[in-house]
Homo-oligomer: A and B are copies of this chain.
């Protein structure tokens, strides 16, 4: 494990996550997983709840599923790739993929039109997923606003089992729109089991955990009527923005979009926040701090698939043998190459969109 978010500065309350919320370190079960993915073995996926059920189903070749949602707003950027990589990995491991476009939520909470949302969901999200390797077989890509009667009936049936305080705990404040969104999101997570009881894993960032807790509670409260297995979940760290702060869809200088030109991407990387010493001499003497270095992160999360090479780069940087400019250059080459290839794949992907839409 290269990243140890349980001891990192970014998320301070891991003890609380474990003790109060029952999120367990992912590292504890990684040896049970056949050929763990890069994100798993590097600790980017750092926590889980009941992931053992998924491992068990994979081993026994029992049906299982992965469910996730996307909020169709803004550009698809490197930060979104963390989830995309997981989706595709789970599909390759034999899971049925449920990919929900949260357009009812976006319509109500962000006040966009369904047409605009559909356009963004397809051109920004679906096309990139396909280009990254998502296949139509065993993939159920759907819009909340265009699902089916049993799904809406499920959402409707949850209304009597949820309280204001539970929804307040998730959103901080409540409104009819937020209550509706919360109910439909619980239905998103549970409805894969309407066509057969099975373990379902939802990969999320820690900020999404309140939704998972609510869903697990509602799975218990509907026991006599639906008999759902409470969803499993995994938790991944967030990629930092180019500037070392939050990667934010509303701030294009904080991210590299998958449609950015390779040249533009290179420029952004060369400007990225560095964990290197203040001067070359200092860096050589005291070394760099890979924990805050953006280039180190991006290599770890996406761009250096070879674990040995990655360790060499990071340790070299930590010791001061590798300087920031070289590390950024190395990353920029990788990103440029990736974007060139990816943008070609996007053109092919556009023709495959129809296979994912009913």
Residue A123 is within 8 A (CB to CB) of chain B in the complex: no
A138 at the interface (CB under 8 A from B): no
A180 to B152, CA, bound (A): 12
In the bound assembly, the distance between CA atoms of A113 and B225 in angstroms comes to 9
In the complex, whether A146 has a CB less than 8 A from a CB of chain B is yes
A159 touches B147 (CB 8 A): no
Chain A: how many interface residues by the 8 Å CB criterion? 33
Once the chains are docked, how many angstroms separate the CA of A183 from the CA of B152? 13
State A184–B177 Cα separation when bound (angstroms): 13
**In this assembly, does A153 line the interface, its C-beta being within 8 Å of a C-beta of chain B?**
yes
Asked whether A145 is an interface residue with its Cβ less than 8 Å from the other chain, the reply is yes
Asked whether any CB of chain B lies closer than 8 Å to the CB of A157, the reply is yes
**Among the listed B153, B164, B175, which residue makes an inter-chain contact with A146, where contact means beta carbons less than 8 Å apart?**
B153
The smallest beta-carbon distance between A109 and chain B, in angstroms, is: 7
Give the residues from 100 to 158 in chain A that come closer than 8 angstroms, CB to CB, to chain B.
104, 107-109, 111, 113-114, 144-149, 152-153, 156-157
Residues of B within 8 A of A162 (CB): 176
> Are A184 and B156 closer than 8 Å at their CB atoms?
yes
Given A145-B153, A167-B176, CB of A108 within 8 Å of CB of B159: yes
Interface positions of A from 195 to 216, Cβ below 8 Å from B? none
- Residues of A whose CB lies within 8 Å of any CB of B are 104, 107-109, 111, 113-114, 144-149, 152-153, 156-157, 159-160, 162-164, 167, 174-177, 179-181, 183-184, 225
A–B pairs, 9, beta carbons within 8 Å? A108-B160, A113-B225, A145-B149, A149-B152, A156-B184, A159-B177, A163-B176, A164-B175, A164-B176
Please name the 6 residue pairs, one residue from A and one from B, whose CB atoms are nearest each other, closest first. Answer: A159-B180, A108-B160, A152-B152, A160-B177, A159-B177, A104-B156
